[in-house]
Amino acid sequence: MSEQAVIADEIRMRILQEPDVILEDPDVMRALITANDRAVGGNVVDLRGVAMDRLEARLQRLEETHRSVIAAAYENLAGMTQVHRAILALLEPLTFEGFLSCLENEVPQILRVGRVKLVLESHEAEDPALEQVGGVLTVVRPGFVSDYMSQGRGLARVVLRRADGNAKLIFGDDASWVQSEACLYLEFGEGRLPGMLAFAADNPAQFNAGQGTDLLDFMGGVFERAMCRWLG
């Protein structure tokens, strides 16, 4: 028996023992189908080969979808972890000054945004009670929050969008770097004017209307309750 026959017998025995090895290898299966097409000639349509091509294309689409779902799940988990860390950080301070300092310094780092602003409406142009709280707080006229968030459309609890020229109204005249923003509508109870929590990012894709808002909505609810401890 020649050496080639011995090798062929070994391969044949391996295939007979583990046929799944061949079936699960797309390159080997493609080579076998190609060889079969050459053997039967170009005038014969091999329906098995057509079916195999279609199954392979469907498998590739399923694998791409699977990878996309896994990537989205990891992204959602990372976002949830960031929001939870930010909330815990905000619940830790024992003074209002410490609360605002955390909002200005720690929260942007945790959420990986460029800047955070707390916008509060007030009937007073300059409320003496809010003069010493630092740059994270912006005091505006009544009705400003709903106008800024809705921009003539319906008011939503959370707004994610590309930034425009209006961003300077809350982030300052140097807000040209702001490319996208997230705005959370805040309610502090009956008899109190609303507010807004705004996040600015230099990445135009960081906040957009197609993203989910559940986590930020939850954060807004916790923030409202935390703020009520400090409001007189």
Position 115 scores a pLDDT of: 92
Q: Are 137 and 120 in contact (CB under 8 A)?
A: yes
> Could you tell me the pLDDT band of residue 6, with boundaries at 50, 70 and 90?
low
Identify the residue with better confidence: 44 or 182: 182
Q: Tell me the per-residue pLDDT of 17-29, one tens digit each, with 9 for 90 and over.
A: 877 777 777 777 7
For residue 196, give the nearest of 182, 185, 207 by alpha carbon. Answer: 185
User: Which residues, 6+ apart, have CB-to-CB distance to 137 below 8 Å?
Assistant: 100, 117, 118, 119, 120, 130
Model confidence at 219, pLDDT cuts 50, 70, 90, reads very high
The percent of residues above 70 in pLDDT, for the chain, comes to: 81
Q: Check residues 103 and 65 and name the one with the higher pLDDT.
A: 103
**pLDDT value for 42:** 53
Q: The domain 83-228 belongs to what CATH superfamily?
A: GAF domain (3.30.450.40)
What pLDDT score does 79 carry? 75
Which segments of the chain belong to CATH 3.30.450.40? 83-228
3-state secondary structure 116-138: EEEEEECCCCCCHHHCCCCCCEE
- Helical spans, DSSP H, in 92-176: 96-111, 144-150, 168-171
Evaluate whether 100 touches 120 at the Cβ level (below 8 Å). no
- Tokens, residue 198: 């705004």
Estimate to the nearest angstrom the gap between the alpha carbon of 57 and the chain centroid: 29
Token pair for 168: 């300077």
- Residue 28 sits at φ, ψ, to 5 deg, of -65, -45
Question: Does pLDDT of 47 surpass 60?
Answer: no
d(CA 35, CA 137) in angstroms, rounded, equals: 73
115/105 Cα distance (integer angstroms)? 9
